Amino acid sequence: MIGPFLAFVLGMVILALAFYILAGSSPKTSKPAVTVNDYAKAREGLELVLFETAAIETICSVEDLNFIARAGNDDVRRLFLKERKRLALLWLRKTQKVVAQLMDLHLRLASYTYDPNPGFELELNAKYGAFVVLSNIVLLVLWVAGPFKGRRSIAYAIRTSGHFCMVFSLRLERLNPTRLGSSRESLVH
Amino acid sequence: MSASLVSWAAIVLEGVILLRGLRNHLIHRYFLFYVYVSFVLLVDIVRLCCYRFAPHFYSSVYWSAELLVIGASYIVVIEIFKQVLKHNPGTARLAENLLLIVFACTLVYAGSDLLGDQSLSLPHAIAELARDLRYIEAALLAVMLSLFVRYRISIGKNLRGLIVGYAFWVGINVMILSMWFLPGHQASVPLRRALPPAYLITLLIWCSALWATRPEPVSPAENEVERDYQILAARTRSMLARVSNGLVKAMRP
């Protein structure tokens, strides 16, 4: 049936997963269950990203740059570009962090949901994988070219983070917070 | 290491696992797993007797028994699935769908492969079927373990040992089987020698993991907030009952 190479790889994958499960059992690496605090923090993070995503569109708009350029002062223009680049990088790193936290929360919350959709899960995982790769590329573009030259990449990041925010917002709304552990006591052990 | 020494060691370890399971009552918790260990112990004893008293039958007995053992090992997959996901209904449903798809695909593929090759002798056909069954089992296990890792499912210490031992055994088996059926199969000779010690390592992992009973992860329904919520709901219900009683009394002429 399947080729010997594929079977060999399958065996290796199983051994690697077994090792990962064994390594993940230590108190240092094992994650506590989702608490009400995690849920509240996720909601806060989500609202913050939604607010900041709207703000970053204004920050990266060319109108401000044109206004500064008209003034004709190079020092002011340089400072303006430096500040906007710093802000855009900060926003993207923060968005990456919040999306990663929300994804982690989503995966840990799978046990509390009674109606997970395999198609939705597959799509979300694929989109998250693409987001991780592409957002790092966008980060590089921003760092090299700045927010005004990399406007298309910024637009992608804004669109994708907006999509994730919408998905996670729906996910959190469908969740029953009473099924979570309290902040004092973890759900397991 | 001589073959009979390994067989004796395996029989002793399997016996120890069963005895410890009876003593610490883990036999009730992981019933299917202990059924599998008992079955393997029985098969090992039959094989050893055949090896000593009727060696000319050993080859045919070995492959038939191997097929039965691999078939029986599917109950360990069911046991792992049942135990790990009993507090995770969401992931259980997702895993169930995925595992059914993987099982159906690999079964159809293996069946067509086996039926397509008419030139096989019976022992060779049995060996190939055993290999295909092991591959299907490996595919199921890989999907299941990936889901456990991806969805950060918490696993108790006893069950973790059971899973790690089983995954180690299936993983090594699949790697060796993949070499075994290569044309010329020279590469499989040193690997085949690794199979009996690998089985002993598996038994040692199970023995140490299932030596004593460890606490299992607590069910999500038992957490504090849930209890608080239930108390709150009960209080509200009794308050509503009191109010409606009062209303009824007040409305009576």
ipTM (interface pTM): 0.75
Which residues of B are less than 8 Å from A180 in CB distance?
223, 225
Residue (of B227, B153, B217) closest to A109 by Cα position: B153
Higher pLDDT, residue B129 or A187: B129
The span from the first CA to the last CA of chain A, in angstroms, equals: 44
- For residues B108-115, average pLDDT: 69
Enter the pTM of the model: 0.70
Tokens of B183: 């044309």
Confidence of residue B1 (pLDDT cuts 50, 70, 90): low
Contact assessment for residue B77 and residue B144, using Cβ atoms and an 8 Å cutoff = yes
Q: How many helices (H) and strands (E) in chain A?
A: 6, 0
Looking at the complex, does the CB of residue B13 fall below 8 Å from at least one CB of chain A? no
Q: Maximum distance among all alpha carbons in chain B?
A: 100
- Alpha-helical runs (H) found in chain B: 3-23, 26-29, 31-53, 58-72, 74-84, 89-116, 122-150, 157-180, 188-193, 195-209, 224-251
Residue (of B108, B101, B103, B33) closest to B73 by Cα position: B33
Q: Report how far residue B140's alpha carbon sits from residue A100's, in angstroms, rounded to the nearest whole number.
A: 28
Secondary structure (3-state) at B70: helix
Of the ranges A13-17, A18-22, A176-180, B206-210, which one carries the lowest mean pLDDT score? A176-180
φ/ψ (deg, to 5) at B118: -85, -15
Looking at the complex, does the CB of residue B14 fall below 8 Å from at least one CB of chain A? no
Sign of the Cα torsion B203, B204, B206, B207 reads positive
Secondary structure (3-state) at A35: strand
pLDDT of amino acid B192? 72
Residues in chain B: 253
CB within 8 Å: B229 and A178: yes
Mutual angle of helices B89-116 and B74-84, in 10-degree steps: 160
Q: What is the DSSP letter of A181?
A: B
Confidence of residue B207 (pLDDT cuts 50, 70, 90): very high
CB within 8 Å: B175 and A118: no
Q: Which residues contact B213 (CB under 8 A, 6 or more apart)?
A: B24, B25, B26, B29, B158
φ/ψ (deg, to 5) at A35: -110, 170
Where are the domains positioned within chain B? 3-219, 223-253
- For residues A49-67, average pLDDT: 74
Tokens of B78: 């069911």
Confidence of residue B37 (pLDDT cuts 50, 70, 90): very high
Tokens of A20: 């990962």
% pLDDT > 70, chain A: 62
- Which amino acid, A36? V
pLDDT of B127 higher than 60:
yes
- DSSP per-residue letters across B35-103: HHHHHHHHHHHHHHHHHHH-GGGHHHHHHHHHHHHHHHTHHHHHHHHHHHTTT-HHHHHHHHHHHHHHH
| pLDDT tens-place string over residues A75-116 | 888 888 888 888 888 888 888 888 788 778 777 776 655 556
Q: Report how far residue A88's alpha carbon sits from residue B102's, in angstroms, rounded to the nearest whole number.
A: 44
For chain B positions 95-114, those within 8 Å of chain A (CB to CB) are 97-98, 106, 109-110, 113
- Which amino acid, B84? V
Q: Which of A31, A34, A107, A111 to mutate to test the interface with B (most CBs of B within 10 A)?
A: A111
Higher pLDDT, residue B141 or A156: B141
A69: left (phi over 0), alpha (psi -120 to 50) or beta: alpha
pLDDT of amino acid A165? 66
Nearest to A11 among B151, B174, B182 (CB): B174
Q: Report how far residue B205's alpha carbon sits from residue B194's, in angstroms, rounded to the nearest whole number.
A: 16
pLDDT of amino acid B181? 67
| pLDDT tens-place string over residues B66-81 | 888 888 888 888 888 8
Nearest to B171 among A14, A125, A185 (CB): A14
What's the distance, CA A166 to chain centroid? 12
Which chain B residue shows the shortest CA-CA distance from A111? B88
Tokens of B9: 């060691």
What stretches of chain A adopt beta strand conformation (E)?
A: none
pLDDT of amino acid A8? 87
Report the gap between the CA of B84 and the closest CA in chain A (Å).
Answer: 11
Contact assessment for residue B164 and residue B149, using Cβ atoms and an 8 Å cutoff = no
